[in-house]
Structure 1
Amino acid sequence: MDYRIIEEFYDIGRIQRLVVMKQGTSSDAKCVESSAGRFVLRKLRNEQQAVNEERLHHVMSLQNISPALVIARNGLSYVHLNDEIYNLQYYVEETVPYDQATIHFVEFGKMLARFHHAAHKLEIVDQPDRFALPLLWSQVCDEVRGSSSMICSLEGQVQQCIEYAVRKESVIHGDLGVWNMLFTKQKTLLIDFGEVRRGDPHVDVAAALTSMIPATATENECFSILEDVMKGYAQAEGLLTRDRLYEQIHLWMLRGWLAWIRERGVTSPMVQYIEQGMQRVAVFKEILL
């Protein structure tokens, strides 16, 4: 990409270089180093996503929940470059890798509740869930049915999860794993609102918990983290119920298994991973129900 095009749209001084970032896959993120500092340039799917991200980032940056977006010379937070749509966000300095031992999970729960409160009344352009269970199942059912008995058992779980009530009570992040969080010594920030839609806040909590609690965690560690997150969420006047949280954890993990099968087929490492995942679901069920 020609640096001059970015300089034309954004008042960020002279651009010195662009560096491809490892975080994320769909947004094609690049670190922009300029005379005014560092920024993150992200390619978006369409203008609908751009509008949603503009609204989310404006509110969440004021709440210190996400980085702010840079306003372009056109007065918007996104621009059209070479038939693509981009936005530019301020780079978060001094981030650290996720470390379960250093996270204050009560405070993390409070942050999630504040996010859902702030997002609740936002007007967004609603979009479909790209990983909806019926869609995923239609794409992999033949392969699942032709596999081992353990993999075949996923069909029963699909039928069970399809019966879980679908609620669209609020605006949710929609893909809130650790891959869409930035950690500093003081706080956790949420990024990449590309999957934002109306849904059940329990989805975000389930995604966060299943990605933040390692597969090697003991049952006591799982219990402690779950209770702390729920405690913090409640202290910030958020409402979580144990049965709905379990349902969304089960559904979230099942979606992940099916998406992996869709992308890579059934392999020996995947069978082992899914077996371990089923054991994790059983632990969450025992804790929550």
Structure 2
Amino acid sequence: MPTDPASTTFPDGWDSEARLVGGRWVERRPRRPEVAERLRMETCLMPWLAPQLPLPVPVPAVVADDPLVVRHVVVPGEPLTAPLVAHGRRLGAFLRALHAADAAEAVRRGAPSVEWTRRERADMVREFTSRVVPLLPAERHRPASALLAKVAALPAHTLVHGDLGPEHVLARDGRLTGVIDFGDAHIGDPAIDLAWALHATPPAFADALASNYPITPQLCQRALLWHQLGPWHEVTHGLDLDDRDTVRSGLDGVLARLPAAP
């Protein structure tokens, strides 16, 4: 499928360059080799997964191999900026359906496996220990290390979105219209998809989500751990880019969410 010169480039993402082509298609190109693998994974996983979900999601297909370009029909809506009770109920139903998907079949369709998740988590914990913890005040090293140890031990048994936040949940005219960006989908802890939804939204939204999704105290606590971990990724991203403002913003977030030292 040829590229339409009449296109609009979306704001820069960390992983992919994306643009709207012809008012109908989103075209994505990876910024790094490992991102290309994730984009190819989406082209295998999403055609199988999309019919099982109660909201529209991208279903990309490869349109060029060298360099890689994938394209999917645009999912309508704008990033969620004002979470409403109705949004919470709809997102709860969406996550219930997503987390009920057959994990073994998802792996056969390209989703990273439990073994992959455990390796990635171990690598992440080592990186955060060596690159982020030393940047924190000395009195916060102990709770920071305790958080990383808890995250390393979390379960992995469910197909998850892996990066669910307001920028990837779309809405229009007071209703949810879709969920995008499944490049981080993997077999992991379902609590990762609840981190923002339970711990960074109004209580009425979180309660509404729980009306359509079985939230246990253990799941809520694990979601809090993932929420606390979120800004750590911003720190390492800033370090990779040598962007001091991003590093500082990430560190401020780490400290704001980190439990106080006992």
Deviations 1:75-99 (A, max 9, x none): xx52341435544332345x44643
Q: Which amino acid aligns with 1:91?
A: V
Residue 155 of structure 2 is matched in structure 1 by: 167
- Count of residues paired in the alignment: 240
1:1-150 aligned at under 5 Å gives the runs 5-6=1-2, 15=4, 17-22=6-11, 24-33=13-22, 38-43=24-29, 45-46=36-37, 47-60=40-53, 63=54, 65-67=55-57, 69=59, 78-93=61-76, 95-96=77-78, 98-100=80-82, 103-104=83-84, 106-119=85-98, 120-122=100-102, 123-124=105-106, 125-127=110-112, 128-129=116-117, 132-139=120-127, 141-144=129-132, 147=135, 149-150=137-138
Residue 187 of structure 2 is matched in structure 1 by: 198
Residue 73 of structure 1 is matched in structure 2 by: none
Structure (1 or 2) with the larger CA radius of gyration: 1
Deviation at 1:157, TM superposition (A): 1.4
What runs of 5+ residues in structure 1 fail to find an aligned partner?
A: 8-14, 70-76, 214-221, 284-289
Residue 216 of structure 1 is matched in structure 2 by: none
Change over 3 Å in CA distance of 1:265–1:162 after alignment to 2:
farther
**Aligned-residue RMSD, C-alpha:** 3.5
**TM-score, normalized by length of structure 2?**
0.72
In percent, how many aligned pairs have the same letter?
Answer: 18
Give 1:278's match in structure 2, choosing from 252, 255, 260. Answer: 255
Partners of 2:243 and 2:160 in 1: how far apart?
Answer: 31
Partners of 2:126 and 2:244 in 1: how far apart?
Answer: 19
What runs of 5+ residues in structure 2 fail to find an aligned partner?
A: 31-35
Change over 3 Å in CA distance of 1:169–1:160 after alignment to 2:
same
Deviations 1:148-169 (A, max 9, x none): 635x734641343323442223
Change over 3 Å in CA distance of 1:114–1:141 after alignment to 2:
same
Residue 218 of structure 1 is matched in structure 2 by: none
Partners of 1:148 and 1:236 in 2: how far apart?
Answer: 39
**TM-score, normalized by length of structure 1?**
0.66
